[in-house]
Amino acid sequence: QSALTQPASVSGSPGQSITISCTGTSSDVGSYNLVSWYQQHPGKAPKLMIYEVSKRPSGVSNRFSGSKSGNTASLTISGLQAEDEADYYCCSYAGSSTLKVFGGGTKLTVL
């Protein structure tokens, strides 16, 4: 059982927007603005898409955005494209003892 809770799957049609939630606790997501999101295509290593809740690394499309409210972080992908179909994982800093916790992952299907 993962420390952060994500929906197992979400889907959307090309051009639409989808949002993936990531629910933690007041010990991780709720306490730190250090939530990151990763995209993983089959057989590939994860790729950083969002860091510090809402910042995009250089080279990541502005169709990807992040936000946080309380103990829940969210990843929104707008203008869905076929290449967005992948697994998405959230991760949060969780204090000096546990340090890092991941969500269980969400499979995005582009219909």
Partner 1 sequence: QVQLQESGPGLVKPSQTLSLTCTVSGGSISSGSYYWSWIRQPAGKGLEWIGRIYTSGSTNYNPSLKSRVTISVDTSKNQFSLKLSSVTAADTAVYYCARDVKYYDILTGWGGTDAFDIWGQGTMVTVSS
Q: Chain centroid to CA 54: how far?
A: 10
Residues 47-66 that bind partner 1 (CB under 8 A): 47-48, 51-52, 57
Kindly state whether residue 108 participates in binding partner 1, applying the rule CB under 8 A: no
The pair phi, psi for residue 98, each rounded to 5°, is -85, -35
**Separation of alpha carbons 5 and 39, rounded Å:** 16
Q: Does residue number 13 form part of the binding site for partner 1 (CB under 8 A)?
A: no
Residue matched to tokens 């890092």: 100
For partner 1, the binding residue among 24, 38, 64, 75 (CB under 8 A) is 38
Select from 18, 101, 108, 110 the one that contacts partner 1 (CB under 8 A). 101
Q: Interface with partner 1 includes 34 (CB under 8 A)?
A: yes
Does residue 105 interact with partner 1 by CB under 8 A?
yes
Detail the DSSP E strand segments found in the chain: 9-12, 18-23, 35-40, 47-50, 64-69, 72-77, 86-93, 100-102, 106-110
Residue 12 or 93 having the CB closest to partner 1: 93
Which residues contribute to the site for partner 1 (CB under 8 A)? Answer: 2, 32, 34, 36, 38, 44-48, 51-52, 57, 89, 91, 93, 97-105
